């Protein structure tokens, strides 16, 4: 006979009961694809959570591992015909696991502390980057090669204030991919926007913390952020951050992922961008495709200038998953191996017509995939678009 356990009481029973165990989500789950075991699938995890909640199953090490290894890519949600809100099941579970066993997260806590303190983040990034150059840190670790001179924004200004937007610079995106911010500004200004920069004071959106289960820290950051003064429209070029900010600022601001905003200007961009000969392989970040439903927009934008190649894996996760590759390196690497194999298949298919770039709109995917050793340049789509601006709009900022 089942009794109620002390675990997972925050998970809504109705959400659990929406799952009819059909298994249609299984092929869309990267961890199921790697293991072939039901307990590493959405259905399996839902059943584990339900059984632990009702007291029918003990929360053993194996159960915790199955729950810990969910990447929260949300590939299962759009695949589910019953409309299971998997995120509202797994989020409180992750938060509870981290709350109950704080000690097991010490390295992750330290990492996330650094992420929210921009000076430390920049300092450690440079140290790691140098250590990697002199081979003290293995090449497979996703450390971006940042330059010592921090590039500054040179806002052109002069555009009308009725098209004013705030570019949310965030944490990792600013420390590791500032060039993408600069390219974003270039594109927005070419489209007539007046751009303001959020900068370090604005703070981090808390997406990494929330994803890792540090719900309280994430809430605190989100509260701080919602008190900041800013233009009504906020533009974000990291898919994980745009997904998170859309929730945090849902009632006060219009938050747009940069791909979403640029897509609204497709015909303007057709005038502004030049055609190029290269081919781009598009990698879709989960938080763009599965969470925000932004998919064909990136292709349509890139198609203005480039030939597009696509993966045939229904947007299966690459394994990066916020801090997932740090906290669960084995599963993350196994998931990445499958992704890279699919990328290599398409690259081979494309030859002798080479694929010149892999485009991905999320810093986590960019850095994690770069660490796979795949020999192709990984770039944010915004950088490719900014490079393709006709010279009178470009700031001459080719890579």
Interacting residues toward ligand SF4 by CB under 6 A: 19-25, 28-31, 42-43, 45, 70-76, 80, 82, 84, 86
Min. distance of Cβ 111 from ligand SF4 in angstroms?
21
Comparison of 25 and 218: residue with beta carbon closer to ligand SF4:
25
The residue (of 30 and 381) whose beta carbon lies closer to ligand SF4 is 30
Tell me how far CA of residue 25 lies from CA of 19, 20, 46, 76, 199, in angstroms: 10, 11, 12, 5, 40
* Dmax (CA) of the chain: 74
SS3 letters across 96-139: HHHHHCHHHHHHHHHHHHHHCCHHHHHHHHHHHHHHHHCCCCCC
Nearer to ligand SF4, 74 or 204 (CB): 74
Is the CB of 81 or the CB of 157 nearer to ligand SF4? 81
Smallest separation, CB 15 to ligand SF4 (Å): 10
Closer to ligand SF4 by CB, 32 or 357: give it.
32
The least distance separating ligand SF4 from the CB of residue 177, rounded to whole angstroms, comes to 24
| Phi, psi (rounded to 5 degrees) for 13 | -65, -35
Instruction: Note if the bond before 352 is cis, omega within 30 degrees.
Output: yes
* Structure-token pair, residue 77: 């949600």
Cα distances (Å, whole numbers) of residue 51 to 1, 20, 101, 376:
12, 15, 20, 45
Q: Half-sphere exposure of 359 toward its Cβ, with a 13 Å CA cutoff?
A: 28
Taking 3-state DSSP, the helix, strand and coil percentages for the chain, each rounded to the nearest 5, stand at 50, 10, 40
Instruction: Please give the span between the terminal C-alpha atoms of the chain, in angstroms, as a whole number.
Output: 65
Check residue 396 and report its DSSP letter. Answer: S
**Minimum CB distance to ligand SF4, residue 90 (Å):** 6
**Complex with ligand SF4: residue 23 or 107, whichever CB lies closer:** 23
* Least distance CB 17 / ligand SF4 (angstroms): 10
């Amino acid at each position: 006979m089942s009794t109620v356990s002390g675990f997972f009481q925050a998970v809504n029973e109705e959400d659990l009961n929406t799952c009819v165990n059909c298994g249609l989500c299984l092929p869309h789950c990267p961890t199921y694809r790697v293991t072939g075991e039901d307990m590493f699938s959405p259905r399996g995890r839902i059943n584990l959570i339900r059984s632990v909640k009702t007291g029918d199953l003990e929360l053993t090490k194996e159960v915790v591992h199955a729950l810990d290894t969910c990447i929260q890519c949300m590939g299962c949600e759009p695949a589910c015909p019953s409309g299971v809100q998997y995120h509202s099941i797994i989020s409180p579970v992750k938060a509870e696991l981290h709350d109950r066993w704080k000690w097991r997260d010490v390295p992750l806590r330290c990492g996330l502390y650094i992420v929210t303190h921009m000076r430390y983040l920049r300092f450690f990034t440079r140290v790691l980057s140098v250590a990697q150059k002199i081979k003290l840190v293995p090449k497979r670790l996703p450390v971006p090669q940042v330059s010592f001179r921090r590039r500054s924004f040179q806002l052109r200004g002069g555009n009308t204030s009725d098209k004013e937007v705030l570019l949310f610079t965030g944490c990792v995106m600013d420390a590791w991919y500032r060039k993408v911010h600069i390219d974003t500004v270039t594109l927005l200004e070419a489209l007539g926007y007046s751009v303001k920069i959020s900068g370090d004071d604005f703070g981090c959106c808390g997406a990494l913390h929330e994803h890792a289960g540090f719900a309280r820290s994430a809430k605190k950051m989100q509260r701080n952020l919602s008190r900041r003064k800013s233009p009504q429209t906020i533009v974000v070029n990291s898919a994980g951050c745009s997904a998170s900010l859309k929730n945090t600022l849902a009632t006060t601001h219009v938050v747009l992922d940069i791909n979403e905003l640029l897509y609204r200007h497709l015909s303007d961009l057709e005038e502004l961008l030049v055609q190029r000969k290269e081919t781009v392989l598009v990698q879709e970040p989960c938080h763009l495709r599965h969470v925000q439903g932004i998919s064909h927009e990136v292709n349509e934008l890139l198609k203005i200038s480039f030939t597009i190649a696509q993966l045939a894996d229904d947007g299966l996760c690459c394994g990066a998953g916020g801090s997932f590759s740090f906290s669960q390196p084995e599963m993350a690497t196994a998931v990445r191996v499958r992704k890279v194999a699919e990328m290599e298949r398409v690259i081979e298919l494309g030859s002798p017509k080479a694929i010149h770039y892999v485009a991905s709109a999320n810093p986590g995917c960019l850095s994690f995939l770069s660490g796979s050793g795949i020999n192709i340049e990984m770039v944010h789509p915004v950088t490719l678009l900014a490079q393709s601006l006709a010279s009178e709009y470009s700031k001459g900022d080719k890579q």
